[in-house]
Amino acid sequence: MSLEVQLPDSAWEGVDVGVEALLDQWLVAAGDTVPADQPLAKVVLVKATVDVAAPVAGRVESLRVAMGDTFKRGEAIATLAEAT
């Protein structure tokens, strides 16, 4: 089962609608196996850097946002294949 990874809603708390986040650094590559809660990426949002962690253990299927690109609230940045 595949799962889309997004910046958690809690990170967007207090941020104006329409503001985009910047994907600063990937900490994993497609094909990597990760445990739950492992940081996958560093994201800059307004003036803070936030880690995006794996919500479940699994294999990184794809990185959907390139380093240096921006993305919107609710947009998936990666896809994980949940470990079975």
Q: Domain 2-82's class?
A: mainly beta
Closest listed residue to residue 41, CA positions, set 17, 2, 75: 75
Reduced to 3 states (helix: H, G, I; strand: E, B; else coil), residue 67 is coil
- What is the torsional sign of CA 80, 59, 30, 70? positive
The residue ranges of every structural domain in the chain are 2-82
Distances (CA, A) of 74 to 8, 20, 80: 8, 10, 16
- Output the pTM of the full model: 0.92
CA distance 21 to 32: 24
Residues 39-64 have pLDDT tens digits of 999 999 998 999 999 999 999 999 99
User: Dihedral through CA 56, CA 58, CA 63, CA 69, nearest 10?
Assistant: 30
Residues 6-42 have pLDDT tens digits of 999 999 999 999 999 999 999 999 999 999 999 999 9
What pLDDT score does 52 carry?
Answer: 97
